Structure 1
Amino acid sequence: MARPQLEPRADREIFELPLEVRPEHIDENGHVNNVVYVGWLQDAGTAHWNARFDADARAKWSWVGTRHEIDYFRPLMPDATGVKARTWVGDPHGPRFNRYVRIEDGEGRLCAQGVTEWVLVDAATMRPHRIPADILPAFERR
């Protein structure tokens, strides 16, 4: 059964992160290994957070990924260029946000998509914390 493709929400900022396919990413099947995609989901979320919040906010809050789900549509080969992650967040639920990521090739074709559940934690105690109301506006479409 075909999985529906994730489409960005109209009310959320779509953050883009260029990705590089490196030789060590290629597995014995000749394409980017699945484990690399998990890292890319994390990289996209972290880059988006770092781009929107200053050092003080990043010192106060941290995020912990508690669940990843990835669907693969098209392999990325060793010579792939122009690869990018496009990411946006869902609605906050207590301390949780779902973050959605599309991995696209240089022609804009969907290669993989993922959802990660992130939990906001107090950086000093590492205890979960309800997402403050002032965080969501940073991820809204401008």
Structure 2
Amino acid sequence: MSWDLPTPFVIDLRVEADDIDGLGHANNAVYVSWLERCAWRHSQSLGLDLAEYRRLDRAMAVLRHEVDYLAAAYEGQELQVGTWIVESDQRLKMERRFQLVRPEDGTTLLRAKTIFVCIELSSGKPRRMPVEFVEGYGRALQEPFPLEL
């Protein structure tokens, strides 16, 4: 597999019938849901699951998505989504990059970046990252992404 950066966190996906839109391929909103699923599973693997978010009264919420749709996905295809944390100010913001690949032929279907902001769950307001976020997400921090979106 030709990943854009080394050591991605990867999840496997299968394009299901419900993912297909009127144009006959996976709907763009489904692609975004796959990114969210990958990011969440990565967070969980770092020990930052929903229970920990609630305990800390903090969460990482999406501020901005940038998505480049490069090729279509079709029903029955097996796909992989990789993610990397490429930037964190260790206070409020964090950036993830994503790559969606079809292993069958190595085609990259999507590249994306998402900027997250730390919020206080009880108020919904931006708040400084707790040390658990700085350390947990910091363990996965990569060098800056080499490709501009």
- For Structure 1 versus Structure 2, the TM-score category normalised by the shorter chain is 0.7 to 0.9
Query: What SS does the corresponding residue of 1:32 show, helix, strand or coil?
Result: coil
SS of alignment partner, residue 16 of structure 1 = strand
Question: Hey, what does 1:33 align to over in structure 2?
Answer: 27
Letter in 2 for 1:71: D
Distance 1:58 1:135 in 2: 12
Deviation at 1:71, TM superposition (A): 0.7
Matching residue within 103, 121, 129 for 2:127: 129
State the alpha-carbon separation in 2 of the partners of residues 26 and 40 from structure 1. 14
Q: Any unmatched runs of 5+ in structure 1? A: 1-5
Please say if residues 43 and 137 of structure 2, whose CA atoms lie closer than 8 Å, have aligned partners that are also in contact. Answer: no
Answer yes or no: is the 8 Å Cα contact 2:46–2:136 preserved in 1.
no
Partner residue, 1:3 = none
TM-score by length of 2: 0.77
CA root-mean-square deviation: 2.1
The answer (yes or no) to whether the contact 2:99–2:111 under 8 Å persists in 1 is yes
Contact 1:75 1:111 (C-alpha < 8 Å) held by counterparts: yes
Q: Deviations over 1:61-98 (max 9, x none)?
A: 311111111111121111212x1110001211331111
Displacement over 4 Å in runs of 4+: none
Which stretches in structure 2 are left out of the alignment for 5+ residues?
143-149
Aligned to 1:91: 87
Q: CA deviation at 1:21?
A: 0.9
**Alignment TM-score, normalising by the size of structure 1:** 0.81
1:119 positional shift: 0.9
Distance 2:136 2:118 in 1: 11
Which residue type is aligned with residue 124 of structure 2? M
> What CA distance in whole angstroms lies between the structure 2 residues aligned with 1:21 and 1:139?
28
- 1:80 touches 1:106 (CA, 8 Å); kept in 2? no
Going from structure 1 to structure 2, the CA distance change for 1:140 and 1:90 (only over 3 Å counts) comes to closer
Q: Please give the alpha-carbon distance, in whole angstroms, between the structure 2 residues aligned to 1:135 and 1:128.
A: 19
